[in-house]
Amino acid sequence: MVLSQRIHEAFKGTVERITGPRTVSAFKEKGVLSVSEFIIAGDNLVSKCPTWSWESGEPSKRKSYLPAEKQYLITRNVPCLRRAASVEEEYEAAGGEILLDNEDNDGWLATHGKPKDRSDVEENLPSMETLEIRQKETVRSIPSYFGGAEDEEDIPDMADYEEADNVIETDAATLQSTYLVAQEPDDDNILRTRTYDVSITYDKYYQTPRVWLTGYDESRMLLQPELVLEDVSQDHAHKTVTIEDHPHLPGKHASVHPCRHGAVMKKIIDVLMSRGVEPEVDKYLFLFLKFVASVIPTIEYDYTMDFDLGSSST
Amino acid sequence: MAKEGSGSILQFAPFQSSVDEGFWHRLSSLKLNKFGIDDSPIPISGFYAPCSHPQVSNHLTLLAESLPSDSNEGSAMPAIIRGNRNRCSVPGILYNTNTMESFHALDKQGLLKAEAKKIWEDIHSGKAVEDCAVLSRFLLISFADLKKWSFHYWFAFPALALDPSATLVDLRPASQWFTLEEAESVSAECNEWRNSSETADVPFFLVSIGSDSRATIRHLKDLEACQLDGQKLLFAFYDPCHLPINPGWPLRNFLALICSRWNLKTVRFLCYRENRGFADLSLSLVGEALITVPQGWREHQSVPNAVGWELNKGRKIPRCINLAKSMDPTRLAISAA
């Protein structure tokens, strides 16, 4: 972690300790949430999108300003069938540009802008073959996080222990080879299908929700957080998405840094209001997750809900 | 597609395991602060939910909460938090050994048989009808190498093997099996079952459809009521599997229960699956299986053969995860510097 980031974390931690949680609503004015509004919005998300649920997390990490059984929200086993990088190429190949906010392009909503210098793809129109090859390479070249060679060479090779004696099971009723495969019987899919646990915590300092990602490979083994960045829109990887300690769970997890969340949400709320839609605070997380989808476009978590987004659309 | 596989052996997609990092963190802390070298088996809880996406199966998941609490003041609190709709709790047992050698020396067949025996006994005592989660009882063996922060482990999901195997008469998407009216009623009732905190984590249930095409859902213990009012009776379960032509693993012991307790030879079952948290009958399956009740099953004497050790990428080997990155104090110190 960069030093400036460290210093900021220390500062943020101190501020969080000495200031009380927000109690007055500033949702329309600043795009932020008070603790009780976070609970209201979370309850609504859980009831409309039942794949989400509240959890209490590690008892030692519980935040006293949140109810014990509503510490954070989580949806588990969310499929991610393709890497974000390859999706972006496809958009670009199709000449697509998705800009939700043109006038003030601050890098948050402009998720699939012009391609940056990509010397590895000769033209703007990559053929299907080059796409395929790239995908395979990205996925296959990754050293496996666990059991990876690194400095673990004294872990005995499990193959030595392959048990002929102990676990002989011949059973006609067991379906052989059930990988987590996407529908087409295509070898590639085995490599590409990842799943995610997506969690939302309340960030007391920024007074906004914060999204965390825990990735798993096709055999449901934990992915190194750095590999999670492959599923983040490349404009955001390493910049707005950072790897930090989860406030309620052990280990390092990738997270969409919340420093701009309030401003972006304020902008979304302003757009809604200019269209004559009165935003309600219990819909905050739906709007929030909609915008987070621009950062993690291929992770298919659930935030669908019928919105009245006003008449015009960009 | 509708009649695919008819007359063939009914094949079940094995359960898959998934272990949250938090589980290993808590196990390490328990091992260091509480258990020491005591390697007696530890009761644990796994969690699962119906498949909720057309392209991925759900898993039997272990979380930190799967283990007893590691804090001392917390020991008065109930060790297991009640499940919710996304976390149906399933009882399991953990054998954590002190050495790699004893991990490999464990009598895997014997341990699997012992768990299968518990399921068998719960079927015959009627416990499985009252508390159906015991049908999916599981087993985990592990060796936690706390010097290297690596964890070797192997799951088994014991299934009582029918001999001869059940054969499939019919299997198709539930949306094709029900009439439109029935399908609507089944979806509505299932959604209600899943939304009520009383029933959301009850993974086995009965669906009956009256002559008015209206569906009713009941607990297993209310089978007689179902048989009275139902023209169509289905044995339903939360299916973690997403595959279009195979039911998931929990159906195996469910069939064992159905044929040994209720002595049915033809069983109609519903593999209940969801999309985005709501009943999805095009993803759910309805099937009809023929069972020949194996010799000796009604006398409940000998425990049937059991299978269920999880394969690791198709091989009969344990899994290993190394958590040095999040547990090794030296590495943590370096990354914090």
Is B5 inside any structural domain? no
Residues sharing a CB contact under 8 Å with residue B84, sequence separation 6 or more, in sequence order = A53, B197, B200, B201
The pLDDT value recorded for residue B79 is 44
Residues B26 and B152 placed together within one structural domain of the fold: yes
Residues B114 and B235 placed together within one structural domain of the fold: no
The pLDDT value recorded for residue A310 is 45
User: Are the Cβ atoms of B55 and A251 closer than 8 angstroms?
Assistant: no
What band does B244 get if pLDDT is binned at 50, 70 and 90?
very high
**Strands B88-97 and B138-145, bridge-based pairing:** parallel
Q: What is the pLDDT of residues A112-169, one digit of tens each?
A: 444 444 444 333 433 333 333 333 333 333 344 444 334 444 455 555 555 544 555 6
Question: Which of A208, A178, A212 is closest to A196 using CA atoms?
Answer: A212
Identify the weakest region by mean pLDDT among A6-15, A257-266, B7-16, B173-182. A6-15
Cα separation, B281 vs B22, in Å, equals 34
Residue B273: both structure tokens together: 């699956």
Q: What are chain A's domains?
A: 3-82+193-292 (3.30.1460)
The pLDDT value recorded for residue B309 is 95
Identify the weakest region by mean pLDDT among A121-135, A262-276, B312-326. A121-135
Is B296 inside any structural domain? no
Q: In the predicted model, is pLDDT for residue B77 greater than 80?
A: no
Residue B98 DSSP SS3 = coil
**Strands B266-272 and B285-290, bridge-based pairing:** antiparallel
Count CB pairs under 8 A between chains A and B: 167
Residue A106 DSSP SS3 = coil
Instruction: State chain A's mean pLDDT as an integer.
Output: 74
Task: Work out the percent of chain B whose per-residue pLDDT is above 90.
Answer: 76
| Number of domains chain B is built from | 2
Residues B150 and B173 placed together within one structural domain of the fold: no
Write the DSSP symbol of residue B35. I
Residues B132 and B21 placed together within one structural domain of the fold: yes
Cα separation, B137 vs B232, in Å, equals 29
Q: What is the pLDDT of residues B118-129, one digit of tens each?
A: 999 999 999 999
All residues of chain A having their beta carbon less than 8 Å from the beta carbon of residue B314 are: 177
Q: What is the pLDDT of residues B129-171, one digit of tens each?
A: 999 999 999 999 999 999 999 999 999 999 999 988 999 999 9
Cα separation, B192 vs B85, in Å, equals 11
Question: Between helices A284-292 and A35-48, what is the axis angle to 10°?
Answer: 80
Q: In the predicted model, is pLDDT for residue B331 greater than 80?
A: no
Residues 120-179 of A with CB under 8 A from B: 145-148, 152, 154-156, 158-159, 161-164, 166-167, 169, 171-175, 177-178
ipTM score for this prediction: 0.90
Query: CA distances (Å), B107 to each of A281, B95, B102, in order?
Result: 57, 11, 10
The amino acid at residue B143 is F
Mean pLDDT of B192-214: 93
Q: N- to C-terminal Cα distance for chain A?
A: 38
Residue with tokens 């590639």: A188
- Asked if residue A25 lies in contact with residue A37, where contact means CB atoms within 8 angstroms, the answer is yes
Residues B157 and B258 placed together within one structural domain of the fold: no
Q: In the predicted model, is pLDDT for residue A39 greater than 90?
A: yes
Is B3 inside any structural domain? no
Task: Work out the percent of chain B whose per-residue pLDDT is above 70.
Answer: 93
Mean pLDDT of B181-197: 96
B/e letters for A279-300, b = 16+ CB within 10 Å, e = fewer, are: bebbbbbbbbbbbbbbbbbbbb
Q: Which residues pair with A244 in a beta bridge?
A: A253
Residues B138 and B182 placed together within one structural domain of the fold: no
Identify the weakest region by mean pLDDT among A108-122, A204-218, B173-187, B298-312. A108-122
Is B316 inside any structural domain? yes
Write the DSSP symbol of residue B1. -
B245: CATH: 3.40.140.100
Residues 214-253 of A with CB under 8 A from B: 214, 216, 219-222, 224, 249-252
Mean pLDDT of B206-215: 92
Of all residues in chain A, the one with the smallest CA distance to B334 is A1
Q: In the predicted model, is pLDDT for residue B96 greater than 50?
A: yes
Query: Which of B58, B86, B102 to mutate to probe the A interface, most A CBs <10 Å?
Result: B86
Residue A204: both structure tokens together: 């007391």
Mean pLDDT of B112-121: 96
The pLDDT value recorded for residue B117 is 95
Mean pLDDT of A77-89: 81
Range of the domain at B141: 17-161+305-336
User: Are the Cβ atoms of B320 and A220 closer than 8 angstroms?
Assistant: no
Residues B201 and B148 placed together within one structural domain of the fold: no
Residues B259 and B208 placed together within one structural domain of the fold: yes
Is B8 inside any structural domain? no
Is B53 inside any structural domain? yes
All residues of chain B having their beta carbon less than 8 Å from the beta carbon of residue A164 are: 316
Q: In the predicted model, is pLDDT for residue B112 greater than 90?
A: yes
Mean pLDDT of A4-32: 79
What band does A22 get if pLDDT is binned at 50, 70 and 90?
confident
The amino acid at residue A244 is E
Residue B34 DSSP SS3 = helix
Residues B309 and B249 placed together within one structural domain of the fold: no
- Neighbouring CB atoms inside 10 A of A262's CB total 19
- Higher-pLDDT residue of A86, A90: A86
Residues B197 and B96 placed together within one structural domain of the fold: no
Residues 14-73 of A with CB under 8 A from B: 49-51, 53, 56, 58-60
Question: Between helices B108-125 and B250-261, what is the axis angle to 10°?
Answer: 50
Is B267 inside any structural domain? yes
Residues 92-121 of A with CB under 8 A from B: none
Dihedral (C-alpha) B61, A242, A31, A302: value to the nearest 10 degrees?
A: -30
- Higher-pLDDT residue of B43, A94: B43
**Strands B60-62 and A241-245, bridge-based pairing:** unpaired
User: Are the Cβ atoms of B104 and A161 closer than 8 angstroms?
Assistant: yes
Mean pLDDT of A257-262: 90
Q: Which of A58, A163, A195 shows the shortest C-beta gap to B316?
A: A163
B125: CATH: 3.40.140.70
Cα separation, A70 vs A41, in Å, equals 12
Consecutive H or E run containing A215 = strand A208-216
Residues sharing a CB contact under 8 Å with residue A33, sequence separation 6 or more, in sequence order = A22, A27, A41, A202, A207, A208, A209, A281, A284
All residues of chain B having their beta carbon less than 8 Å from the beta carbon of residue A152 are: 148, 150, 322, 324
> Sign of torsion, CA A230 A235 A238 A241?
negative
Cα separation, A98 vs A115, in Å, equals 12
The amino acid at residue A207 is Q
All residues of chain B having their beta carbon less than 8 Å from the beta carbon of residue A76 are: 61, 86
Residues B125 and B178 placed together within one structural domain of the fold: no
Residues 283-302 of A with CB under 8 A from B: 300, 302
- Higher-pLDDT residue of A163, B102: B102
Residues sharing a CB contact under 8 Å with residue B246, sequence separation 6 or more, in sequence order = A175, A178, B11, B12, B13
Is B2 inside any structural domain? no
Cα separation, B15 vs B17, in Å, equals 7
Question: Which of B317, B86, B288, B81 is closest to B169 using CA atoms?
Answer: B288
Residue A80 known to be catalytic: no
Does residue B164 have a cis bond before it (omega within 30 degrees)?
yes
> Sign of torsion, CA B288 B290 B294 B299?
positive
The pLDDT value recorded for residue A260 is 87
Cα separation, A144 vs B90, in Å, equals 30
Residues B22 and B152 placed together within one structural domain of the fold: yes
All residues of chain A having their beta carbon less than 8 Å from the beta carbon of residue B150 are: 146, 152, 155
Mean pLDDT of B43-63: 94
Instruction: State chain B's mean pLDDT as an integer.
Output: 90
B/e letters for B211-234, b = 16+ CB within 10 Å, e = fewer, are: eebbbbbbbbeebeebeeebebbb
Whether residue A182 lies within 8 A of chain B, CB to CB, comes out as: yes
